Each structure stands twice: as structure tokens, then as C-alpha cells.
Amino acid sequence: DKDPSRTAWDSQVRAAAESRGARLLVLVGVVFHSYMVAIEFSHGAYSHRGPVILSLAIMAVAGTLLVAPWPDRVPPKLVTWGSAAVIGVSNLLVLTPIRGASAWPGWSGWSAGASMFLAVLLLLRQRTAEAVVGCVGFVVAVAAWVALSGRPPGLVFTFTIGHIITFIFWFALVSWSGTVTSAIERALKAEEQARLERELQVSINSAMAVKLADVSVRARGTLEALRDEEVTPEIAMEARLLEAELRDEIRAPYFTGTEVVAAARRARSRGVEVVLFDDRGDATRGGSTDEERLRTRIVERAVAALDEAGAGRVVVRVCPAGRPWAATILTDAGLAVVEAKEGAVEVGEAGD
């Protein structure tokens, strides 16, 4: 149920653990810590070498598995929970055999830094619970070592505080970066939506202005005649024709700007009752070649029917409701149906 932008960001963060840089860091870490262990061995820092070598080995395996490629960039739970367990176990294996009673373990605490690197890899893999458990396991291991070796209890705090602060920093960085990214993505989407709405409104206003200008040109002469001259039968007829045309603009915008407008005026001047309908609703035509061909065919058929009618009634309906036809043309001679099937235009005739 995450925001899509957050899901994409989390995937990118998980991918960082599979990058060449992360794998190089793991390799360098294994080589460097092996060198440190060798130096500690040469100085006799450990009473037993086996646990230390085992700790280095299991941390190297855990680090390798965390940067290995996995399906959907998500390591199995066995790998992530196993890595969390390695953090605690490896520190206990390294700290317990340290020789001497000095308060600070010196370089022999290399396992703490290596284990925090594993915790950061778990955070990058979006495995927060396992990372927190691993960090807690690290503190518990240090506390157990301090208790078993009889060292001052304050060493638990002084030895772990730097690593804990580093872990908290990475935890906040990974968590907050995802939140901030999602917020930025939502803001960008909202801005884009607002821009599209503004462009749509400008387009609507422009189209409306064009139509109003066209209506103004067509209506001005008749309205000025009604204002300045005595109403004659010719002016009254012109006003009725203008009223019918304006009604067509509202009921049948499909034919706006086409030859149907002039054909309807000619038919009405001959006494034919013309009714135009556009039942497309919010759908729009135009754009594809097939739709333009269909529009041209409907206009041609409508113009022909209007010019052929000498009396009676002509009803042209685009996309009649409840019918699969593209248009119907009803005259006193019968019903003509214009269909569009797979881009091809077919015209059928039906009786009364």
C-alpha cells in the first residue's frame, strides 16, 4: 500500500547494495580486517585464534550475501536474519578471547566496525527490523564480554556509543530520504496536474472564444437589423434561421465548422424542419485516420440528405444512444444508417 514513488525509491536504495561500489567496499573490508587480524595474531592479542578466524569468515560470508544480486533486489529472510545474528555472535567470538585486563580492547575491537557495516547493508536492503536486532545483538555481546571479563560496566557505553550513533545516522538517512523523495514526487505530480489543468482551461477558453466570435459574426447582422429596421418577414425568417443554428451549436457541436451548417440553413429556408443531435457525451472524435474518414463520411451523407429534402423533416443524430451505429439520418424517404466497422465505413438504408 506504499506510495508508488516511495516504492520506486526503496527499490533504488536496495539496488545500491548490489552496486559495484558496495561490492568493492565488502572486498576491501575483508582484506583490511584480515590484515588487522594478522597483526593482532602477531602481537598475541588473542588467547585462541579459532573463534576470531570463524568470526571473520562468517562476517565475510554475510557481507557477500548482502551485496549479492537477488530477485527484486530483496535478499531471503534466511540471509537477512542470519546477518543480524552474525553481528552479535561475531563480536562475542572476537571480544571473549582478548588477552589482558586493560579496559579498552584497542584494535581487537575491529569486529564492532565490521558488524556495523553489515547493519548499514541491512538498512540499504530495507530490512530495518533485522538491522535493529543486529545492533541490539552487538550491544548485548559487548555487555556479555564486559561481564565475563570483569571490566568496568561503563565500557559498554564508551565502546558502543560511537557505533550506535553511526547506526542512528544511517537509519535516519535511509528513512527520511524515502519520505522526502515521496513528498517531492507528490509535489511534482500535483504541479504537473495543475499545469495540465491550466492548459486545458486555456484550450477550452480559446475554443469558446472562437465559437463566440463565429456566433457574433453570424448574429450581428440580424441583431442590428432587428434593432435598426422594421421587422419584415425576411428579417423574421433570418432570425428564426439564426436561432436554429445557435440551437445546433448547443445540441450538435459535432457539425460545428462543417458543411452541414450551411446545408441545414439552405434546407430550413426551403421549409424543411432540421434537427441535429450529438449524443457522444464527453467523448470526442478526431485524431486517428479512421475517425477522420468516418467524420467526413457522416458530413457528406448529412449534407446530401439535407440538400435532397424539399419538405418534411430531417433528423441527423451522431452516436445515437443505445445503438452501435456511428450516425443515423432520418428523412421522409426513410432511415439511413452510417456504421464504422474496423475503420471501414458502411452505409445502410432502412425503411420507415
pLDDT tens digits for range 212-256: 777 777 777 777 777 777 777 777 777 777 777 778 777 888 887
Lowest-confidence range among 97-101, 156-160, 307-311, 317-321? Answer: 97-101
* 147 vs 15, higher pLDDT: 147
Mean pLDDT of the 285-314 span = 81
Helix (H) or strand (E) holding 37: helix 20-42
For range 174-182, the mean pLDDT:
75
Distance between CA atoms of residues 301 and 90, nearest Å: 86
Considering only CA atoms, give the Rg of the chain: 41
d(CA 186, CA 180): 10
Please give the C-alpha separations between residue 241 and each of 246, 264, 272, 303, 347, in angstroms, as whole numbers. 9, 9, 11, 17, 30
Whole-number Cα distances in Å, 74 to 5, 127, 273, 333: 18, 9, 72, 72
* 238 compared with 57, residue with greater pLDDT: 57
